[in-house]
Amino acid sequence: MKVAVVGVTGMVGQVMCKVLEERNFPITEFLPVASARSVGKKVEYNGKEYTVISMEDAIAQAPDLAIFSAGGGTAKTYAPQFAAVGTVVVDNSSAFRMDEDKPLIVPEVNIDALKPTDKIIANPNCSTIQLVVALAPLHEHYGIDRLVISTYQSMTGTGVQAVQQYNEELEGKEVSNPAYPHPIFQNCLPHCDVFFDNGYTREELKLVGETRKILGDQSLRITATAVRVPVQGGHSEAVNVSMHKDFELSEVRQLLSDMDGLVVVDNPAKNEYPMPLAAHNKDEVFVGRIRRDESAPNALNMWVVADNLRKGAATNAIQIAEYMVKKGWLNAKTEVL
């Protein structure tokens, strides 16, 4: 199987290569793809060195699969061109997430929405992915009425430029190319992506629209505040869930424990709860601080954490591709690089 990683030199692209290696994804021909300024650079995959090629060169080779992490504008331009030559595209940008005819997939939650005829598949926003893994069993058993979400998002979600800003600030240097309008070192910015006229940011509205689409319920009432924090390990979320039915906490914990890809870490007596430092480099979503909201009926609070570059991006995209291989929708060969 011929596989292209588009945006291979970026932060998520590099993690995609790492996850493909770790999971022994059946690649017989690897195509590293990036923008014109990166063409000709060398990257390593599975112990071999490869030369980065252009979008046009990759499209001409008609790969079986292209995993994109190259920004919405790039995806809008090139993903349809890959699809036109028969390539299945799994896109990590926001370009296609809300398109009615494009599936938005978290494998543990809504893999049944995927069809063998789908050529462009959207990977959800990192914050949404970990959120819906924790919400899906609750929505199925109790019916979710309203969500109040506060995120504490790693600066790695912004990319290499943000990490560079943090490191320069940490070292007391003048910031050469700031990713944010304010310092991120020793600071929290209630500002993820651009602001809209209603006062919400794009990241906050992604949580609203994508969660409704993935859970298949446009009636969900959702409000969110997204905050960027000086953390590299992953994203954290404080989630208040109001449900249509009452619940027992013991049953909630069991439902969450039984959910694929979700790990319950919830023993405050021993100071055990999810943290981005502990979630770093892991593929699971972690949930803890599960407790009844004593101010409202049928409501609870929980704390959800995941590595935003892995489950929040690379791993989720590759899990989608693995499912398609398993179903025979991608022509995986036996000899692997």
Which pLDDT value is given to residue 93? 96
Over the stretch 218-273, which tens digit does the pLDDT of each residue have?
A: 999 999 999 999 999 899 999 999 999 999 999 999 999 999 999 999 999 999 99
- Domain ranges within the chain, ordered by starting residue: 2-95+313-326, 127-306
Question: Has residue 200 got a pLDDT over 90?
Answer: yes
Mean pLDDT, residues 14-29:
97
For residues 273 and 286, the answer to whether their CB atoms sit within 8 Å is no
Over the stretch 274-299, which tens digit does the pLDDT of each residue have?
A: 999 999 999 999 999 999 999 999 99
Q: CB count, 10 Å around CB of 266?
A: 20
Over the stretch 140-150, which tens digit does the pLDDT of each residue have?
A: 999 999 999 99
CATH class, range 127-306: alpha beta
Strands 299-306 and 285-292: antiparallel
Token pair listed for 142: 């109790």
Percent of residues, the chain, with pLDDT higher than 70: 98
Which pLDDT value is given to residue 233? 86
Which residues make beta-bridge pairs with 152?
227, 236
Q: CB count, 10 Å around CB of 296?
A: 11
Which pLDDT value is given to residue 330? 86
Which pLDDT value is given to residue 307? 98
Question: Has residue 105 got a pLDDT over 60?
Answer: yes
For residues 33 and 7, the answer to whether their CB atoms sit within 8 Å is yes
Computed over every residue of the chain, the mean pLDDT equals 96
CATH class, range 2-95+313-326: alpha beta
List residues with catalytic annotation: 126, 235
Token pair listed for 30: 């690897």
Question: Has residue 326 got a pLDDT over 90?
Answer: yes
